[in-house]
Chain A
Amino acid sequence: MSVKNHGNAILNPKAQSPMELSIDDVLFSRIICYPFKLLDCCLYSEASAALILASEDKVKELKIENPIWITGVAAANTDCFIGNREDFGRLYSNIFAAKAAYKMAGLDYNNIKGQIDLAELHDAFSGQEVISYEELGFVPFGEGGPWIEKTFEKSGEGPWLEGELPCCPSGGLIGCGHAVGATGIMSTGEAALQLREDAGKHQVPITKGRAISHSIGGPGAAYAAVIVMANEEGLKKP
């Protein structure tokens, strides 16, 4: 995860932490809070990201050639007294936000991996992205870790840049840095650039025309938001 996102960031000229790492670099980096090491954590960053949102009428009036439609938006807040939670190993806000956003966009939670081209996830800490794979419906519960491990160097599989569902092709928070207020807007903008095939060197293949961006916040993911986007082709596909 750490190596993947630091590596993806090499292709992103706007990223703060592009690094070519080995697994040992990560495992032997300084312990921050076990099991997170220095390279499992994003760096706090300074940046700004802006999007201009337009209504359908305005898109026609301005003759915008490649609008990226926001087809699903959802968010969920969960118990911020972490000690009160039923199951500690969950990021509950994620699944509620994801299911609502997919439903609004007409997508199926149980088959989401086959319906989107990429996901820009919130990887402030490496383990967080791994659990998010499960909460967002990419893999069944308990299979997030094995998904990234077993698909290592298998082209067309896993969350890698060349995988079945590239996750954080921009490098995510670990690769780009985390400029908190700007981050989720950068992720959404990056996913939109991917759908426009304007992302640059870290462009991934766009066949379904749909992508998601994902934000988490607060202690233990008290907040989560999921945005589903589609280009013109993605709107038409089932």
Chain B
Amino acid sequence: MSKVAIVGIGITPFKARYLDKTYFELAYDATKMALEDANKNGAEITHKDLQSTVYGIYNELFERQFMPDIFVNSYLGMNNKPGTRVATGGATGGYTVRMAYAEVASGLSDLCLCIGLEKCNDCYDEQTGVTTPEVLNAIAYSADMTYEYPMGMMAASSYVSMVNAHYEEFGNPTEEQMAYER
């Protein structure tokens, strides 16, 4: 297996809402930043040198778009090359890095773009004009819909079960420890 290195890093600011950008424009910005970072010591890589892409996009319900990766692929100028999407809940980013690592370590690609994006507030209830209940539901659909969602399983409550059970066993984390001030 080849050794694999991170040679370019591009991160857009994290914002509550980008009113002026689509999800593919956000992806374009991050890719451009990563290419500029990789080229800072004189290399001249462009999107044409990237042999494959691994996309980390969690939830179609956010972007109101099934297969959002294929639209990003076109927008980035990556047509006619392989692009694969990873979707593993909140761990999507980590799993995407793992698959991009495999892409390079295996020798399938020498240069691979590993890109994650999300634009959760594209998800809104058109009747009420608000986003939060829609976003929370879009996430809650990750829980088991047969037995657990009807009992109130959502993102926060699933982790509350863990934290409460841990507290019962060890007496921590207390509310203060979770809050802890400095």
Contacts and interface: CB of A to CB of B under 8 A. Distances in A.
9 contacts: A2-B180, A47-B14, A52-B35, A67-B6, A146-B172, A146-B177, A184-B91, A184-B95, A189-B9
Contacts of B172: 130, 142, 144-146
A52 B45 contact: yes
B162 A88 contact: yes
Contact of B30 (A50, A54, A55): A50
Contacts of B88: 75, 77, 217-218, 223, 225
B94 interface: yes
A195 to B, nearest CB: 9
Contacts of B89: 180, 217-218, 222-223
A contacts with B: majority SS: mixed
A64 B116 contact: no
Nearest to B135: A44
A122 B177 CA distance: 17
Given A51-B34, A128-B159, A153-B182, A56 B166 contact: no
Interface of B: 2-18, 23, 26-27, 29-31, 33-35, 37-38, 41-43, 45, 50, 55-59, 62, 87-98, 100-105, 107, 109-121, 135, 142-144, 147-148, 153-182
A47 B12 contact: yes
Report, as a range, how many residues of chain A touch the other chain. 35 or more
A56 B6 CA distance: 10
Contact of B11 (A80, A160, A189): A189
